[in-house]
Structure 1
């Protein structure tokens, strides 16, 4: 994705967005880690820091981007509270670090882990 201003043009890859989203999500209470986008076989594996792009999708649009992310949370946490917190933090950090407007953050909880 590209950002242009009076200084020039900056191209930001999806990997950069994924790293921002992954680091922000992992810093939020109740999140165990990022999960791969396709857990079709029912087995969810946690992603390492250098593979966050497997759990994040960024969809560009005319008036902003949509971030889709897959996470694993701690068993027993308040899911609405955790997802609100993640959504707010991801939106803020992506907008601050990249200059892109985040229209929506879609969070998929792919698993729970006991502490």
Structure 2
């Protein structure tokens, strides 16, 4: 994604936007984060939270696949995730987030 300013332009790699969105989601209490120490490659393959970001009409649409802890209120947790991801991405990048779609894959026990 790129933005133009009076002094030049800034290009942010899609991978960076993914990392920002994933970290913002994982910062919310109740999001299950796989913390295995079985090696770098294994930990990349088994990440509990995955992100997909699209540019639609100049605004970002963020899709997150994640797992939640079984002891949380799903509706309240999802709302907090959406608000936190939108706020963090907009604050850090200056880009506008129009939607944050959440897909809950499972509840972790």
Smaller-chain TM-score range?
0.7 to 0.9
Inter-partner Cα distance in structure 1 for 2:108 and 2:46: 11
Instruction: Find the counterpart in structure 2 of residue 56 from structure 1.
Output: 51
Instruction: Find the counterpart in structure 2 of residue 12 from structure 1.
Output: 12
Inter-partner Cα distance in structure 2 for 1:98 and 1:33: 24
Gaps of 5+ in 2: 35-44
Inter-partner Cα distance in structure 2 for 1:73 and 1:84: 13
Alignment of 1:1-115 (within 5 A): 1-33=1-33, 46-47=46-47, 55-114=50-109
What SS does the aligned partner of 1:33 have?
coil
**TM-score when normalising by structure 2:** 0.83
Corresponding residue pairs, total: 99
What SS does the aligned partner of 1:10 have?
strand
Conserved? CA contact 1:58–1:68, under 8 Å: yes
Gaps of 5+ in 1: 35-44
RMSD: 1.8
**TM-score when normalising by structure 1:** 0.79
Find runs of 4+ consecutive structure 1 residues off by over 2 angstroms.
none
Summarize deviations over 1:7-41 as a string: whole Å, max 9, x none: 1111111111111111111110110138xxxxxxx
